[in-house]
Amino acid sequence: MTNDLSGYIDNTLKEMLPNFKWKIVKESKKNLIELYITFHVKSEESVQVQDILGKNNEPGLVQFEDVLCFYDPAYAHVKPQNYLASFSMNSHLGIEKGYVDAILRQLNYTTKKGKVELTEFLSDDFADSFSLSWSESNLTNMIQTLKETGRYSKEKVPIAIDDEKSFLEKLKKDEANDGVERV
């Protein structure tokens, strides 16, 4: 199992077998991890839905995507309103596994509920927009339940920071080898 947050999220989601697909995007310089989730529902061929970018759905299928964000406010300037939910943390100390587990369980519940709500939205002729709704109170209850049942882990998971060499460090390395790349 990977020891960083992105690996932990990936492994946990694989075990949960959630009802959505996901992609993890890690930005080391900003100490930020974005978890993109997507799911789809079948619709009538005639139903046309347009996303915020102006793209129409495929006939018979409506796909929905949203994003969770884990970030260190010392490095990343995140606008929480741009995400389904965002979670600040100290990237050097990490975030408790129990907290991450509760977030992922809440996400699974939110997407299950969201699939039902999206289907209802598609059958409502007067509805003009759809979005998932994240419930902080449900997350708090999930955390409390995990603690009461002894399944909340206080072990910390850090964001692994990939130290990318600066341009000057790369030049210094080249000078050490007389500007010749050794194979």
pLDDT score for 12: 94
Per residue in 55-107, pLDDT (tens digit) is 888 888 999 999 999 999 999 989 999 999 999 999 889 999 999 999 999 99
Residue 165 has pLDDT above 90, yes or no: no
Task: From residue 8, give the alpha-carbon distance in Å to each of 11, 96, 105.
Answer: 5, 11, 14
pLDDT score for 183: 40
DSSP state of 20: S
The pTM (predicted TM-score) of the whole model is 0.83
Residue 129 has pLDDT above 70, yes or no: yes
pLDDT score for 163: 52
Quickly tell me which residue has 């709704």 as its tokens. 133
Mean pLDDT (whole number) for 102-128: 92
E-only strand ranges, 17-168: 21-27, 32-42, 61-71, 85-88, 95-96, 156-157
pLDDT band at 3 (very low <50, low <70, confident <90, very high): confident
Q: 147 Cβ partners below 8 Å, 6+ apart?
A: 98
